């Protein structure tokens, strides 16, 4: 499985998003990671469909939406309807709050979009195993969801190892995404534990040269 970087947009400079996208385009980021928070599941509110309306038309970089909302069963279908056939490649919801995972998975996949399931740092990784056949991606949160710029919770790394072993054991090719507190100096700890899609916000946007930062991250992938 090919590893890649996803840039988490909430850490970008929203005063000049066009420039941010140009700079990302010059780098080798694979996805834009788009955090939607509701002020309820997490103590923060971020971007939503107004901003996404513009981005899906303009971004040539595929968009991955990470929903941190307490009612994904209600809200996600509206997004799927609106953004299918646009540049949205994956939609992830939190396992802890999704009441009908098989149903939501079917709806998202039918629209040609990947379905991801996220695990909060306080949720045991084994809770995802029973849903494994419904998912296209597993997101292991490495900070408490809600804010960019937090420090990584290193105890989450053992969850990556456990899930990676479980997937290998069951002959499953599902990418493991990690999100929160990831910078070029800790990427290799995550990839060597088995992570494939590395989300980074401040680790990219608070550096001067995105192209160089992303290159540094990619260079620390195993086998590079
Ligand atoms: C946290 C978000 C992350 C966050 C990443 O709730 O889901 O995507 O923006 O930002 P950094 O990389 O700065 O932790
Ligand atoms: Zn996120």
| Average confidence score pLDDT of the chain | 97
- Domain residue limits at 140: 4-219
Tell me the backbone φ, ψ of residue 8, rounded to 5 degrees.
-85, 110
pLDDT of residue 223: 80
CB 95 within 8 A of CB 65: no
Which among 71, 43, 48, 50 has a CA at the least distance from the CA of 147?
43
Q: What percent of the chain has pLDDT over 90?
A: 98
> Which pLDDT score is estimated for 191?
97
Distance CA 101, CA 92 (A): 11
Phi, psi of 207 (to 5 degrees): -110, 165
Question: Does some domain include residue 98?
Answer: yes
pLDDT at 1: 87
180 CA closest ligand 1 atom index = 14
Residues with CB under 6 A from ligand 1: 8, 10-11, 33, 35, 66, 143, 145-146, 148-150, 179-182, 199-203
CATH at residue 198: 3.20.20.70
Q: Give the residue among 172, 175, 164, 159 at the shortest CA–CA distance from 92.
A: 175
Inside any domain, residue 212: yes
Mean pLDDT of 96-107: 98
Which residue's alpha carbon is nearest to atom 6 within ligand 1?
145
Q: Please confirm, yes or no, whether 35 is among the known catalytic residues.
A: yes
Q: Which atom of ligand 1 is nearest to the CA of 146?
A: 6
The more confident residue out of 222 and 206 is 206
Ligand found nearest the CA of 120: 1
User: Is 224 domain-assigned?
Assistant: no
Catalytic residue among 35, 38, 73, 209: 35
pLDDT of residue 30: 98
Structure tokens at 187: 């990427």
What number does the ligand 1 atom closest to the CA of 150 have?
14
- Render pLDDT for 3-30 as a digit per residue (tens, 0 to 9): 999 999 999 999 999 999 999 999 999 9
Residue whose CA is at the smallest distance from ligand 1 atom 1: 145
Portion of the chain with pLDDT greater than 70, in percent: 100
For the stretch 117-159, pLDDT in tens is: 999 999 999 999 999 999 999 999 999 999 999 999 999 999 9
Q: For residue 53, indicate whether it is catalytic.
A: no
Structural domain count of the chain = 1
- Rounded Cα distance, 1 and 206, in Å: 29
In a domain, 35, yes or no: yes
Q: What is the tens place of the pLDDT at every residue in 52-90?
A: 999 999 999 999 999 999 999 999 999 999 999 999 999
Mean pLDDT of the 23-47 span: 97
Q: What pTM was estimated for this model as a whole? A: 0.98
Q: Which of 96, 139, 150 to mutate to test the pocket of ligand 1 (most atoms within 8 A of CB)?
A: 150
Q: Is residue 34 part of a domain?
A: yes
* pLDDT greater than 90 at residue 224: no
CB 176 within 8 A of CB 1: no
Sign of CA dihedral 117, 109, 78, 51: positive
Q: Residue 85 C-alpha to ligand 1 middle, in angstroms?
A: 26
pLDDT digits (tens, 9 = 90+) for 153-188: 999 999 999 999 999 999 999 999 999 999 999 999
Interval 99-116 mean pLDDT: 98
- Report phi then psi at 200, rounded to 5: -145, 130
């Amino acid at each position: 499985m090919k590893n890649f970087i996803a840039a988490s947009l909430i850490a970008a400079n929203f005063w000049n998003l066009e420039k941010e996208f140009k700079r990302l385009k010059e780098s080798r980021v694979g996805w834009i990671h788009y955090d939607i928070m509701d002020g309820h599941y997490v103590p923060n509110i971020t971007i939503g469909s107004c901003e996404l309306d513009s981005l899906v038309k303009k971004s040539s970089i595929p968009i991955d939406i990470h929903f941190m909302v307490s009612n994904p069963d209600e809200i996600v279908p509206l997004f799927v309807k609106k953004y299918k056939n646009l540049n949205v490649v994956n939609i992830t919801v939190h396992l802890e709050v999704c009441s009908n995972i098989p149903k939501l998975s079917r709806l998202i996949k039918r629209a040609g979009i990947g379905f991801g399931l996220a695990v909060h740092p306080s949720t045991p990784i084994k809770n995802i195993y029973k849903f494994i056949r419904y998912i296209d991606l597993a997101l292991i949160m490495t900070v408490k969801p809600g804010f960019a710029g937090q420090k990584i919770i290193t105890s989450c790394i053992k969850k990556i190892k456990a899930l990676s072993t479980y997937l290998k054991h069951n002959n499953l090719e599902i990418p493991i995404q990690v999100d929160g507190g990831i910078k070029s100096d800790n990427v290799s700890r995550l990839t060597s534990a088995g992570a494939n899609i590395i989300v980074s916000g401040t680790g990219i946007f608070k550096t001067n040269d995105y192209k160089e930062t992303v290159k540094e991250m990619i260079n620390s992938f195993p086998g590079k």
